[in-house]
């Protein structure tokens, strides 16, 4: 019995929750660890990771508590173990299957992105209402008519839905997903969708990111030239 199991026995109900900023940083650490592995490096430390990613070393340490690994003072952690522990924590080693609705530009891009497999996600099919797209294959993934979604999702036990549709249709199609047994929705429409409790929703909003970038630009300009916006 390993250490993790012992801790789990001792505290069966106490499950530490990690903040969203922490969760968002874990893939960055993992990416760096993979780089180290490719370079043949076998151990690393929080200060080293922090230096490479331009983060605070103590923050890195706090974040890595989620792995429940024990490091060696002065040495750090095994790169291999650490990468594996992050994958394990994020559930990247048991792949989940997903359906996508909306085979437009963005939908097609996601269908063609090979990296998702590494993150435990496999988009196995897409759905659309456009007769020109139905029956075709985009980036190796077959496009089905939207009306087949509920039946196929139920039959295949799909739990993750990806929404890449115009915002006007987002709420309606999210509802369809939930009625079809989907319990987690990754929403790329520039509109919030509201869902019943128990349904996980992750909003991806390019307008939000662009707003942050715009303001960063303004900030740099005003600092540089020394006057208000």
Partner DNA sequence: TAGATTGTTAATCGATTAACAATC
Among 72-80, 87-95, 141-149, 171-179, the segment contacting a second copy (CB under 8 A): 87-95
Of the two residues 169 and 205, which places its CB atom closer to a second copy in the complex?
205
41's contact among a second copy, DNA, none, with CB below 5 to 8 A by partner kind, is: none
Among 42, 72, 112, 179, binds a second copy (CB under 8 A): 112
| Cα dihedral 80→70→92→20 (10° resolution) | -130
Count of residues that interact with DNA, criterion CB under 7 A: 26
- If phi > 0 it is left, if psi is from -120 to 50 it is alpha, else beta; for residue 84 that is alpha
Note whether 190 binds a second copy by CB under 8 A.
Answer: yes
136 counts as binding a second copy under rule CB under 8 A: no
Radius of gyration of the chain (CA): 21
68 binds a second copy (CB under 8 A): no
Q: Which tokens is 99 given?
A: 């359906």
Angle, in degrees to the nearest 10, between helices 57-64 and 46-53: 120
109 is a contact residue toward a second copy (CB under 8 A): yes
> Rule CB under 7 A: is residue 75 a binding residue for DNA?
yes
At its nearest, how many Å lie between DNA and the CB of residue 122? 30
205 near DNA (CB under 7 A): no
> Is residue 30 within the footprint of DNA (CB under 7 A)?
no
How far is residue 165 from each of residues 108, 129, 169, 202, 214, measured CA to CA in Å?
11, 11, 7, 15, 25
Selected from 1, 17, 140, 155, the binder of a second copy by CB under 8 A is 17
Q: What share of the chain is helix, strand, coil (3-state, %, to 5)?
A: 50, 15, 30
DSSP 71: P
Residue whose CB is less far from DNA, 47 or 104: 47
For a second copy, the binding residue among 119, 129, 142, 178 (CB under 8 A) is: 119
φ, ψ dihedrals at 72, nearest 5°: -105, 125
Q: What is the binding site for DNA (CB under 7 A)?
A: 19-22, 45-48, 55-59, 61-62, 64-65, 69-77
């Amino acid at each position: 019995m390993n250490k993790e199991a012992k801790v789990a026995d001792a505290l069966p109900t106490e499950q530490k929750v990690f903040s969203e900023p922490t969760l968002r940083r874990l893939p960055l650490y993992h990416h760096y660890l993979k780089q180290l592995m490719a370079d043949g490096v076998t151990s690393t430390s929080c200060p080293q990771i922090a230096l490479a990613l331009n983060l605070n070393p103590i923050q890195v340490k706090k974040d890595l508590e989620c792995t429940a690994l024990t490091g060696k003072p002065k040495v750090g952690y095994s790169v291999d173990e650490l990468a594996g522990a992050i994958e394990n924590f994020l559930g990247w080693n048991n792949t989940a299957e997903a359906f996508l609705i909306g085979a437009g530009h963005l939908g097609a891009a996601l269908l063609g992105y090979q990296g998702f497999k590494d993150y435990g996600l496999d988009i196995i099919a897409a759905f659309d209402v456009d007769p020109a797209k139905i029956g075709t294959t985009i980036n190796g993934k077959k496009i089905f008519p939207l009306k087949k979604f509920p039946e196929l999702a139920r039959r295949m036990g799909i739990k993750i839905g990806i929404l890449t549709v115009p915002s006007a249709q987002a709420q309606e199609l999210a509802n369809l997903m939930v009625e079809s047994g989907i319990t987690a929705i990754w929403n790329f429409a520039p509109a919030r969708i509201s869902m019943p409790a128990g349904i996980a929703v992750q909003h991806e909003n390019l307008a939000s990111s662009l707003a942050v970038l715009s303001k960063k630009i303004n900030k740099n300009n005003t600092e540089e030239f020394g006057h208000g916006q």
